[in-house]
Amino acid sequence: TMGNWLVNHWFSAAVLAAWLGINIFLFTYYFLFFDRDEHYFYTRAILGSALAWARASAKCLNFNSMLILLPVCRNLLSFLRGTCSCCRRTLRKQLDHNLTFHKLVAYALALLTAVHTIAHLFNLERYNQSQQATDGSLPAVLSKMHLQGSNKWLNPIHSNRTTVEYVAFTTIPGLTGVIITLALILMVTSSTEFIRRNYFELFWYTHHLFLIYFAGLVIHGIAGLVRGQTEQSMAEVHPYHCAEYLTQREQNCTHSCCKDPEFGSIPAESWKWVLAPIILYVFERILRVWRAQQKVIVTKVVMHPARVLELQMQKKGFSMEVGQYIFVNCPAISSLEWHPFTLTSAPEEDFFSIHIRAAGDWTERLIDTFQLETPRIEVDGPFGTASEDVFQYEVAMLVGAGIGVTPFASVLKSIWYKFQQADQTLKTKKVWSVPWDHLWVFPSGSAPIPLPAESQIYFYWLCRDTGAFAWFNDLLASLEQKMAESGKADFLTYRLFLTGWDNSIANNVALHFDTATDTVTGLRHKTIFGRPMWNTEFAAVAAAHPRSVVGVFLCGPEALAKSLQKSCHQHSSLDPRKVKFYFNKENF
């Protein structure tokens, strides 16, 4: 299993290793630098090793802050996907992990922020203790040097009445640090799966605290509270030779070490790390705003059963590929909220369409609004996803769960149009799914019939309840009708799996078993009760295509993704000449 995982994910592992390696290198290098460098000898006398912990974590924070915006630059990713269209499949697949990498960097930022904050709390406490000390020790002497001149202070706390809380909430580093930390906590906690799925607006608005995060980060270090000995002062009074004279100095000292050391602030560097990504992201947002202002014409509105709204639209210059998605905004509901929806139309059609299921406050209000009037719609996109690569594989397995069938609606339509136009670039001669032998009667029983050798695409659609099938009954019925009229009724073979049912449904199906159409969906293909046995399915596909590269595409829940990914690993051969399964999942 580990060997198969490496076969499928070696490049992802390499990227992850590089990212971890750079973080480890930065932390180790700067920890040792600030823990040993002679310029910070006196600073370490007050702060100890907490100085190195704070500065090393700060460098890693800068590095990860530089990376955090890049995975969410949608236009940049679409551009890279387009330029990599001729690249190896392994390279293109990395772009589909953009949100995973974004989350990984965010968790690293949270961890490093905790380390940085704790280290500075220790620093502030030690600054405070050194300021109040009267024992003539080196930290006590260094803390009183602000009395000797403006460039000679090392301890930023100059009064015995100053508290750690006072420094944290009145100085620029302290106040910006508190604000940055609070913003990061809110962004991370509101990004959990539960909140994103059930309270998307909360996730959407709190995530825009990134503006405060970056503003605070840029100005966080400009006050320069952490200081080190200047180069000129090092040449005159090197700490390795002169430190002892600070605590044992005679009143009329004439030794070269009798001169007080001078200190300078560590220059702010965060802006150097994040300037380029911020500029790139600003251009990204400008492009989004410009495209959103282009007029969108809603040409058709269809209200499907189960409160699914279909919008067919036109926009000048709009060009799409199968499996892509757009962001939609309705100013009548909210001028700030943009929500992603997979395109269900095919590139060959003269319009683009989306299907919107009622799943939250925004979608509920949008559906209600369209039932009363046709409001103005703004569209940003389209943007690329894993499903764009369907036609790049010799064999493809398409798996949709519930409304997750939307990207494959575009694929199926496009295949049909290409077939009608006798597209020579399309390898698919016939679209199949796995044929099952009486599975609806024995859901855990018999094995599938051997797959036809000419099969190229296998399509599965899993739904939890019968109402869910109504989302795309119209689409599938339309495709069936068109194919029947063209004398190619067998062109599309698919399987619908009902994963939840009661006795009344089962009895009804049994009574009408011999009817030409399915009693659940009204379609020509009968609904199968139960879940696919994925290990059996993958084994059958591997047997039918022993030397092929198989792309497995999913738009569905994480639990199903783990199951499919596991099957991909188990059934991929270590022999590069034999079958390989590559897992692809839609990510928004």
CATH number for the domain spanning 395: value is 3.40.50.80
What six digits make up the tokens of 264?
């300078």
Q: How far apart are CA 358 and CA 368, in angstroms?
A: 10
Nearest residue to 160 via CA among 144, 141, 171: 144
Q: How far apart are CA 510 and CA 504, in angstroms?
A: 10
Q: How far apart are CA 121 and CA 200, in angstroms?
A: 35
Do residues 36 and 134 both lie within one domain?
yes
As a whole number of angstroms, the longest Cα–Cα distance in the chain is: 113
Q: Please tell me the predicted confidence (pLDDT) of residue 337.
A: 83
- Does the residue 283 lie in any domain? yes
Q: What is the DSSP pairing of strand 325-329 with strand 339-342?
A: antiparallel
Q: What is the pTM of this model?
A: 0.76
Do residues 484 and 578 both lie within one domain?
yes
Nearest residue to 354 via CA among 316, 399, 387, 323: 323
Q: Please tell me the predicted confidence (pLDDT) of residue 52.
A: 94
Q: Please tell me the predicted confidence (pLDDT) of residue 110.
A: 95
Do residues 113 and 81 both lie within one domain?
yes
- Does the residue 473 lie in any domain? yes
Q: Please tell me the predicted confidence (pLDDT) of residue 523.
A: 62
Do residues 266 and 322 both lie within one domain?
no
Q: Kindly state the helix (H) or strand (E) to which residue 308 belongs, with its residue range.
A: strand 308-315
- Does the residue 264 lie in any domain? yes
- Does the residue 56 lie in any domain? yes
Q: Please tell me the predicted confidence (pLDDT) of residue 278.
A: 94
Do residues 262 and 408 both lie within one domain?
no
Do residues 511 and 537 both lie within one domain?
yes
Q: How far apart are CA 325 and CA 77, in angstroms?
A: 13
Asked if residue 51 lies in contact with residue 40, where contact means CB atoms within 8 angstroms, the answer is: yes
Domain tally, the chain: 3
Do residues 506 and 551 both lie within one domain?
yes
* Domain-ending residue, one of 384, 410, 431: 384
Do residues 333 and 400 both lie within one domain?
no
- Structural domain boundaries enclosing 134: 23-171+225-288
Cis peptide bond prior to 382, omega within 30° of 0: yes
Name the β-bridge partners of 431: 457, 492
Helix boundaries (H) for 172-316: 172-189, 193-198, 200-207, 210-219, 231-236, 239-247, 270-292
- Does the residue 135 lie in any domain? yes
- Does the residue 370 lie in any domain? yes
Do residues 361 and 411 both lie within one domain?
no
Do residues 231 and 352 both lie within one domain?
no
What angle is formed at CA 252 by the lines to CA 251 and CA 258, rounded to 5 degrees? 85
Asked if residue 387 lies in contact with residue 408, where contact means CB atoms within 8 angstroms, the answer is: yes
Plot region of 48 (φ>0 → left; ψ -120 to 50 → alpha; else → beta): left
Q: Please tell me the predicted confidence (pLDDT) of residue 158.
A: 83
CB neighbour list of residue 257: distance below 8 Å, 6 or more residues apart: 237, 241, 242, 245
Mean pLDDT in order along the chain per 10 residues (588 residues): 51 86 96 93 91 95 95 82 58 74 94 95 90 85 76 81 81 91 94 83 89 93 87 87 77 75 87 93 90 89 83 90 87 86 87 86 89 90 75 80 75 75 50 33 33 58 68 68 66 67 58 55 65 84 84 83 86 78 75
Do residues 394 and 380 both lie within one domain?
no
Do residues 399 and 487 both lie within one domain?
yes
